[in-house]
Amino acid sequence: MRISKRNSGSAATAALLSLIIVVLVVATVYVFASNLPWAVRPAPITSVGAEIDHQYGLTLAVAGTVFILSQLGLAFAVFKFRDHGQKAHFTRGSNTLEAIWTTATIVLFLGLGLMGHKAWAEVRFTPAAPDAIQVEVTGNQFVFNFRYPGPDGKFGKLDPKQISASTGNPLGIDANDPAGKDDIVVPTLTVPVNHEVNLLIRSQDVIHNFYVRELRIQQDAMPGMVIPLHFTANTIGQYEVVCTQLCGLGHSRMHSYLNVVSDADYDAFLKQQAAGQ
Ligand SMILES: [Cu+2]
């Protein structure tokens, strides 16, 4: 067989591949930059929420920079070392480089994790202030119920046998426990602005979740557990509470509202509810 043309190998394919990689990088950066999380998500209403946003921004910036540099590096290598029909030569790689980028990755991941740990752990692993308002949150298929201890400041005992939503006792508050007589059970969560609130999150059946975007809080409700979590909302308003665990057929309808109100409105809410119990 006669070879009429010089063999140029797969140079054209390699050039095309590196071009595609560059286009993909530009397209990805464009999608992220035009939908920046802080441009499309609602503003946080807690100081911890602001810390969490800052942490997300930092993680995105670091991960985004690494992504852009590594992909452009890949495109460069594919183009520079493309096949012209030359003889390939074998290299063994570099242990020093391997050690450097493995260490850099560990430092980055651990560093971001340690920095983020504080914002995440603050609402979970440190106890709420003693004067925090206690509210019990109970998820069941497919509603939220919020219970306040009432004027005596004490939650009544719960007895699963007495659960009867149709007769007005969805949580099964024990009729024989005097502490439960003044308990307030409502389908929406009302809290005063700038006061610490300690939530006690429970589930009556399957795994649910308590999620409020503006609080930057998302916590599973586990059957058999009471999970405490505290926050201090700093902006009056109404915010949606949603269940973010696929908890059954009615999951998409499982939502409620968090009302952050002034002290006067909160007192009025408690009085009104106490009168109605
Ligand atoms: Cu649910």
- Mean pLDDT within 42-47: 92
Q: What is the pLDDT of residue 219?
A: 95
Same domain, 114 and 164: no
Poorest-confidence range of 32-36, 168-172, 225-229?
A: 32-36
Distance CA 212, CA 137 (A): 13
CA of 190 to the centre of ligand 1 (A): 20
CA of 257 to the centre of ligand 1 (A): 14
> In the predicted model, is pLDDT for residue 4 greater than 80?
no
Find the domain containing 117 and state its range: 11-83+93-122
Q: What is the pLDDT of residue 119?
A: 80
CA of 35 to the centre of ligand 1 (A): 28
**Can you tell me which residue has the tokens 């109970």?**
138
> In the predicted model, is pLDDT for residue 210 greater than 50?
yes
> In the predicted model, is pLDDT for residue 159 greater than 70?
yes
Same domain, 191 and 114: no
Q: What is the DSSP string of 65-82?
A: HHHHHHHHHHHHHHHHT-
Mark the residues whose beta carbon lies below 5 A from ion ligand 1: 208, 243, 247, 254
CA of 10 to the centre of ligand 1 (A): 55
Same domain, 146 and 265: yes
CA of 47 to the centre of ligand 1 (A): 27
Distance CA 141, CA 146 (A): 14
The dihedrals phi and psi of 228, each to the nearest 5 degrees, come to: -85, 150
- In this predicted model, what pLDDT tens digit does every residue of 56-96 receive, in sequence order? 888 889 999 999 999 999 999 999 988 888 888 888 889 99
Number of domains the chain contains:
2
Distance CA 222, CA 64 (A): 35
Q: What is the pLDDT of residue 275?
A: 79
Q: pLDDT class for 5, splitting at 50, 70, 90?
A: low
Same domain, 158 and 45: no
Same domain, 68 and 171: no
Q: What is the pLDDT of residue 86?
A: 81
CA of 249 to the centre of ligand 1 (A): 10
Q: What is the pLDDT of residue 38?
A: 64
CA of 201 to the centre of ligand 1 (A): 12
Reported pTM: 0.81
- In this predicted model, what pLDDT tens digit does every residue of 223-247 receive, in sequence order? 999 999 999 999 999 999 999 999 9
